[in-house]
Structures are given as C-alpha cells and as structure tokens.
Amino acid sequence: MQAARPNPTQATPIDKVITDKPIVKVPGCPPIPDVMSAIITYMVTFGRLPELDRLGRPLMFYGQRIHDKCYRRAHFDAGEFVESWDDDAARKGYCLYKMGCKGPTTYNACSTTRWNGGVSFPIQSGHGCLGCSENGFWDRGSFYSRVVDIPQMGTHSTADTVGLTALGVVAAGVGVHAVASAVNQHNRHKQQLTKAEQPQPDKEDNQA
C-alpha cells in the first residue's frame, strides 16, 4: 500500500533492492498466516525453495484463482449475481462479481485455507475480493468496479499461462448461461406455437 500512486516515500519492493538472491514473495494485505508458516516449514523440511510462478509466488498457494475454489462459483456459472448491497441476491449468497469482486483475476489461497483457522474469508463474509495479492492492486481502479476482462475460466490456469498468453474473455459473456436458457426457452415456445398451428387430424380419420 505504501507504493500507491503518487508514492511520495518512494516505497520499493524488496526484489527491486536485493537482486543477487532468490526472493520468495508472499503477497496479501496482509498475507495469510497459515501460508507464511507453511512456506517456511516447506523450506526447512526439504531444504529448497518451493516452485514459484513468474511473479515469485509459491505455486502451492498462488497457483489458482480465488474464483476457482470459491463456494459462490456455481452462482457465477449460472449468471446469478448480487446487483446491490443487501438485495435479495446478496442474502441468498449469490456471486459478487458485479459488485467488484476480483476473485476471477486474483491468485491466492483465501478460498481454500480461509482465515482465522479456516473460519471465513472476505467473500464468505459478504464482501468481494480486493485482489490484494496482485501487483499494484491499489492502483487498478475502484475496489467496486467489476473486472472487464476475465481470463479463461478453466481451473487449471496459472498466473504464468494467463499472464504470458494474455488469454481472456469479455465480461459480456458472464451471463452466457442465463442467455442460453432464455434462447432455449424462446425456441421451445416457438416450437409449441408452430405445433399448435398445424392442422389436427379429424377423429373420424383416426377411427378409419
């Protein structure tokens, strides 16, 4: 946060200062305590650094998007979103994407490990992800502005594959399931009308 524009103190990340030693980044605001202790335990146990992504984050905890393991993911896929705070959709626990949740573009373990001994995490508490484990998240616009471009929604993508290939889809496709349902319903209705307009055989013909 200290490096947010205009960065009057010239705050600088440690990897820009120390360039001759390996750096393991554990970003977060703040980082999850369980993640920090687990990484230290791994290095002490195996005597080596964990596998890192291109940003220097351990893949074991930063290898998937929060969105990939979010318990509200089913609502995203179904096109069910919270439209305003404390609306009926919010009370039902629908997806917070339209309220600015950055889960689809944020790599962290929040939705898996959660906080305070696994009790909860921001999305479970009713607030969207701020994307605090991503570089410069504080300068990426309002926390309540929805993400415009969302990387491909497969759960096997990492920050490396998404970042290097720039794969993405426009957020207009977010409601694809709802749109598809509407189209199918329209087609069924059209088929019913067509069937109703077809001449029906007389009972006498049937008896013959």
Split the chain (208 residues) into runs of 10 and give each run's mean pLDDT: 87 93 95 96 98 97 97 96 96 97 96 93 96 93 84 54 43 47 57 60 52
Which residues neighbour 127 within 8 Å (Cβ) at sequence distance 6 or greater? 96
Which residues neighbour 179 within 8 Å (Cβ) at sequence distance 6 or greater? 79
- The amino acid occupying position 15 is D
Classify 14-196 by CATH class: few secondary structures
Q: pLDDT at position 170, please? A: 38
Give whole-number Cα distances, 133 to 7, 55, 98, 155, in Å: 19, 11, 20, 18
Looking up tokens 């990340």 gives 13
Q: pLDDT at position 148, please? A: 76
- Residue 126 per-residue DSSP state: T
Q: Residue 148 has which token pair?
A: 């415009």
Q: pLDDT at position 165, please? A: 41
d(CA 64, CA 70): 11
Q: Which of 183, 4, 169 is nearest to 97 (CA)?
A: 169
Give whole-number Cα distances, 9 to 3, 6, 133, in Å: 8, 9, 21
d(CA 85, CA 104): 20
pTM metric for this prediction: 0.71
Q: pLDDT at position 114, please? A: 95
Q: pLDDT at position 199, please? A: 58
Residue 115 has a CB neighbour count (10 Å cut-off) of 15
